[in-house]
Amino acid sequence: MTKDTDEPVFKPVKPQDRAARTHAAAMEIIDAEADARQSKTERLRAARLKMEAEQGPPEPATKPRATPKRTKFIKV
């Protein structure tokens, strides 16, 4: 039973390689979330436009009547 001592048990990992893998994984997650958000936005926009088309144009909003401001009278 001879053992080769020339090869290390664990291979050293460069910090740049580890950072690159982490960056790639993070970018995949971010891209997946962006795609999901975009598809949800398109789906909701289509539903809103369909609902607005069925309802017709909205009625114009009436402005509330302005109440006159009260003034203080000073007795002389």
Question: Residue 5 gets which letter from DSSP?
Answer: -
Q: What is the pLDDT of residues 17-60, one digit of tens each?
A: 889 999 999 999 999 999 999 999 999 999 999 999 998 877 88
- Angle (CA) 14-17-20 rounded to 5° is 150
Judge whether residue 70 has pLDDT over 60.
Answer: yes
Distance separating alpha carbons of residues 25 and 6, to the nearest angstrom: 33
Question: pLDDT at position 3, please?
Answer: 60
Residue type, 15: P
Question: pLDDT at position 8, please?
Answer: 73
Question: pLDDT at position 47, please?
Answer: 97
Query: SS3 of 10, please?
Result: coil
